[in-house]
Amino acid sequence: MTIPTSAQEKSAQKKSAQQPAAHHTYLTDPDTLWSTLDTLNTSGSHALSLRINQDTYRWTGLTDAQRNAVEKRFGFLITSQTQSDRYPVIHVQPANPSHFRPPLGAGQLYVVGHSQHSTPTGQELRLSGHHFAARLQLTHWEMRIAIPPDQLPYFLGAFENCLRLMVAFRAVASGGAILHSAAVVHNGEGHLFWGHSGAGKSTTCRVLDSMGIEILSDELNLVQPIDGIPHVFPLPFAGDFGKLPTRSSPVQLRTMHRLVQAPQCKSLPMTPATALGELMAACPYVNHHPSIADQCMDNVTQLVSQLRPRKLKFTPTPDLWETVLQSQNA
């Protein structure tokens, strides 16, 4: 299953972000449902671990059907690595279907509400969507997800939404950032393209894919330093382009371009302030949350100073790639 990325859905997702009232779109009584997650009560007996970037995400409480669904979708990420206290854990718990409102439509499965709260144990994120609700404790990286066990059609949407949010927050805590972007690999180096919904990320990937250039993702990409040098890491999330990355190792990031559709291809410099502002807007989830937004800005500021992002005016032709390569020496 790939992630729908229509402009309508992305607009709705931005509007729902960091709005506690948005939980009422999906939940009949949010406070009651949040309180059911105070006690650990798993749905099933199965557990598995997914290896993403340098983290292992341990999932527990899965039913037979839920485990099978995860293995089919994320089987290439499953690892037998021993769990460590520093790695996050996610518990799947049963929920009464009466806690959830009727779905808005299949195209809205990945539109969510999320908000931040202070609790006696520290900062907590709350996430809600179709037939699921979740709480993430940021102090010890534990998440609990409530979902009716018989709602398998909605389970993978809930699973992936919660995984995306957890990965995004972990990335910032590790000195990086997840960017709503497209990324490709050429001659062992990474090139990243970002922009608003409809800017041309998936289109760019289709053009470059037709030229034999390796695509990482047209949806979300992780940029994080290794020994102080920015690298781009593949993530298991795809957009309209629909293909998942075939590599598991990161590559050094060489260029970053802000996409702007235009009659002809041209690469132009950006001021650091403009690049910083537009890149922060491309950081999903974290840019709205005060507990981590400042750290995200510090990470992105460092990235801007090292790579000097540029604006790429482009048409969907092979000329855009020649423009990117020429910009390396600008």
Instruction: Answer whether residue 16 shows pLDDT above 90.
Output: no
> pLDDT: is 28 or 107 the higher one?
28
Lowest mean pLDDT among 224-228, 276-280, 284-288, 299-303: 284-288
Report all structural domains of the chain as residue ranges with CATH numbers, in order of start.
17-173 (no CATH), 177-327 (3.90.228.20)
Rounded distance between C-alpha atoms, residue 212 and residue 191, angstroms: 15
- Give residue-wise pLDDT tens across range 170-190: 999 999 999 999 999 999 999
Reported as type and span, the H/E element at residue 280 is: helix 272-281
Residue 284 has φ and ψ, to the nearest 5°, of -70, 150
> pLDDT: is 163 or 246 the higher one?
163
Q: Decide if 207 contacts 316 (C-beta within 8 A).
A: yes
Residue 251 has φ and ψ, to the nearest 5°, of -130, 155
- Separation in Å, CA 251 to CA 51, 82, 176, 225, 242: 17, 26, 14, 10, 21
The model's pTM: 0.85
Cα 139 vs. chain centroid, distance in angstroms?
20
Q: Decide if 244 contacts 236 (C-beta within 8 A).
A: yes
- DSSP lists the bridge partners of residue 311 as 258, 268
Rounded distance between C-alpha atoms, residue 205 and residue 182, angstroms: 7
Confidence of residue 21 (pLDDT cuts 50, 70, 90): confident
- Give residue-wise pLDDT tens across range 73-84: 888 889 987 666
Reported as type and span, the H/E element at residue 131 is: none
Question: What is the token pair recorded at 68?
Answer: 């099978």
Confidence of residue 9 (pLDDT cuts 50, 70, 90): very low
- Give residue-wise pLDDT tens across range 103-143: 776 555 556 788 888 888 788 889 998 889 999 998 889 99
- Give residue-wise pLDDT tens across range 46-74: 999 999 888 899 999 999 999 999 999 88
Report the first-to-last Cα separation within the chain, whole angstroms. Answer: 40
| Closest listed residue to residue 56, CA positions, set 216, 167, 193 | 167
